[in-house]
């Protein structure tokens, strides 16, 4: 599963040819969650509240980049790195 971003100890990854809805995986401090790209809601898993807030901030800034990477992953094409939170 390719890593597409990393910030404040949070690692963002995306699987190739993964199931719908479009989503990404976030890992932090031994916790993990699957996050819906459109709503930024947690589909499964859990993360500390601070990590969730940072992921939602990052996701809202990069939603179009995430959708573009999701489309590339569906086609099994290399994914682009997405800028971290400053």
Q: Is residue 59 part of a domain?
A: yes
Burial 60-86 (b: 16+ CB within 10 A, else e): eebeebbeebbebbeeeeebeebeeee
Model pLDDT for residues 1-46, shown as the tens digit of each residue? 799 999 999 999 999 989 999 999 999 999 999 999 999 999 999 9
Q: Is residue 31 part of a domain?
A: yes
Q: Is residue 82 part of a domain?
A: no
Q: Is residue 34 part of a domain?
A: yes
Q: Which pTM does this prediction carry?
A: 0.95
Confidence of residue 79 (pLDDT cuts 50, 70, 90): very high
Q: Is residue 38 part of a domain?
A: yes
Q: Is 16 exposed, middle or buried (0-12, 13-18, 19+ CB in 10 A)?
A: middle
């Amino acid at each position: 599963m390719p890593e597409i971003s990393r910030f404040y100890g949070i690692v963002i990854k995306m699987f190739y040819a993964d199931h719908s809805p479009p989503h990404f995986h976030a890992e932090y401090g031994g916790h993990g969650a699957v996050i819906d790209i459109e709503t930024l809601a947690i589909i499964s898993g859990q993360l500390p509240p601070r990590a969730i807030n940072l992921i939602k901030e990052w996701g809202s800034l990069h939603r179009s980049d995430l959708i573009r990477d999701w489309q590339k992953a569906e086609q099994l094409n290399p994914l682009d790195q997405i800028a971290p939170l400053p």
